Amino acid sequence: MKRVMLGLALLAIMLPIAARADGINLTNQSGTVTILASGISSYGSQLRSFNGVVAPKGQALGTVSYATGALLTGDIWNGGTFSSTGSTFDVVGEGDWMKKLAGLSGSKGKVPLFTGAFSGTIDWKLISSTKQFHEYQLTGDIQGSLWTGRVVTGNTTQTIYTYWNQEKIDNKGSGHLGNTHLTTPEPSTLGLLGGGLLAMAAMFRRALRKA
């Protein structure tokens, strides 16, 4: 009985570890960021890399855009938290490079590679300040659908610059660099673990019947 319970506990621990083992990493650069108490939004940010594919110098793989909900705590120039209500986080690919992705061999034009939103509170921090610009980081968890239809989760960190002679005039900033990770567990791995859990559950039931 103790061995059965120990096996169930180990499998329960291994399941989330396996789910985090694989994923898609992507980066974005540049773009205009609008910073308001009603929310932070970015557009025109270039998709620089996606799942190991890197854009040639001076080119982009597509675009990354996002928007938060309204300010919850703090203030927009010194840091705080934003709501995820009404938020978005979208990655759109464009170009022949997407033919390497499963299911997109015949695709043309722009393709939504990830369509989602922030999930949970979004952190907004002032990282550094100089006489020329301020550096901020926006960090949060995201959830949405890949181009395959699979629902995934992940997280993103966006570094944003605002310039002292601009920010309080038009509430604009510039996207410096964004790093995003999307968790994509392999179905085979999860299937094996799920099968193991079912087998252990069956052993547990048999042990109870004999007790």
Helix axes 187-210, 2-21, angle to 10 degrees: 170
The pLDDT of residue 7 is 47
CA distance 65 to 182: 15
pLDDT one-digit tens code per residue, 126-171: 999 998 899 999 999 999 999 999 999 999 999 999 998 777 889 9
Please give the distance of CA 126 from its chain centroid, rounded to a whole number: 21
Q: What whole-number distance in Å separates Cα of residue 8 and Cα of residue 3?
A: 9
Helix (H, G, I), strand (E, B) or coil at 20: helix
Query: Which pLDDT score, from 0 to 100, does residue 19 have?
Result: 39
pLDDT recorded at residue 206: 58
pLDDT band at 189 (very low <50, low <70, confident <90, very high): very low
Element of type H or E holding 151: strand 151-163
Q: What is the pLDDT of residues 9-28, one digit of tens each?
A: 444 444 444 434 479 999 99
Q: What angle do CA 160, 68, 113 make, to 5 degrees?
A: 85
Contact 4, 196 (CB under 8 A): no
